Amino acid sequence: MIKIEDIHFKYEGVYTALRGVSIQIDQGERVAIVGTNGAGKTTLVKHMNGLLRPQRGHVFLKDRDTKHMSVAEIARTVGLVFQSPDHQLFLDSVEKEVVFGLRNLGYSAKEAEERCHNTLSRLGLEGFADRSPFTLSGGERKRVALASVLATEPKVLALDEPTIGQDAKQKKLLAELLSEMNDAGCTVVVVTHDIEFVVEFFPRTVAMSGGLIVGDGKTESLLSNEAIIDLSSLSAPQTTLAASALRKKFPEVSNRITSVSDLEEIIVRLVGGL
């Protein structure tokens, strides 16, 4: 679906964000991109939807070099939800905001309105259609930004830090929504620092540091690799930390615990074994 070949990118001035990144993402995958601040994660996803063009290297979408595609063409395939909704929202009602993107991609007014309403209700935003995005909370604005991209039904959905400002319930709803989209064939790529979110939902993790990919593989094995955890400034989930502390006294405790229920079982056995 997406093939990136040795791309380099330097922001005006001195800052080199990408120093030779290659990655291939197949249709229907769910991939999390993690790593230190300034590692190049956002720069990489901006290359996926054509907002940035590689200064060296190539980005292919379904085997077509994006060099020969317009931004609009790319946007129809890859929808990007920004880290800060304020970079994306600019109209005075939620409905106008969502309809705007759809009209730009050539949908009729009637069709755009219909899609808009479906998407808003899917995200629990029905009551917000006439509100100005600027009277909404940070978390709600983020969902409006997501709605405006979701409504276009992109084949690849890329989200930059989608869980920021979302409470536990919204996070769960977001995970369910992404699951649903993914089941319907949509490829999902997220940039995130939220390790619990990665563990629960993303089978593949890509770790970045200093403009390079330093790890790419199964989430479970990547997140139990201390060198990669360190290089990409991650921190292990509380359950994993508790388990490794317990293992020092009780060697029977496994070193692969990531879920609350697994840890509960272990403790029940430890306490029950008195």
Partner 1 sequence: MPLIEFADFSFKYVGADSLALKRINLTINEGEYVVITGPSGCGKTTLCRAINGLVPHFHRGYIGGNVIIDGINTRTSSVANLSSIAGMVFQNPSNQLVTLNVERELAFGPENLGVDPAEITNRINEIVELLFLENLLEKHPHEMSGGEQQRVALAATLAMKPQILVADEPTSNLDPKNAEHILEIISSLNKRGMTVVLIEHRLDLVAQDATRIVLMNAGRIVADGKPREILVDDICQEIGVGIPKATQVYKGLKKRGIQLPSVPLSGEELAYIVQEAVLK
* Residues in contact with partner 1 by the rule CB under 8 A: 11-13, 15, 34-38, 42, 83-84, 86, 131-132, 135-140, 161, 164-171, 193, 195-196, 232-235, 237-243, 245-246, 249-250, 260-261, 263-264, 267-268, 270-271, 273-274
Type of residue found at 191: V
Q: Which is nearer to partner 1, 26 or 264 (CB)?
A: 264
Cβ pair 50, 69 in contact under 8 A: yes
Q: How many other C-beta atoms are found inside a 10 Å radius of the C-beta of residue 17?
A: 21
Token representation of residue 92: 């005075």
Token representation of residue 140: 């709600």
CB of 247 to partner 1, least distance (A): 9
Q: Which is nearer to partner 1, 27 or 235 (CB)?
A: 235
CB of 77 to partner 1, least distance (A): 25
Q: Which is nearer to partner 1, 77 or 232 (CB)?
A: 232
Cβ pair 58, 5 in contact under 8 A: yes
The Cα-based distances of 7 to 18, 21, 241 in angstroms read 7, 5, 36
Q: Which is nearer to partner 1, 38 or 57 (CB)?
A: 38
CB of 161 to partner 1, least distance (A): 7
CB of 108 to partner 1, least distance (A): 30
Residues facing residue 136 across a β-bridge: none
Type of residue found at 42: T
CA angle, 147 then 148 then 154, to 5°:
90
Q: Which is nearer to partner 1, 182 or 233 (CB)?
A: 233
CB of 2 to partner 1, least distance (A): 22
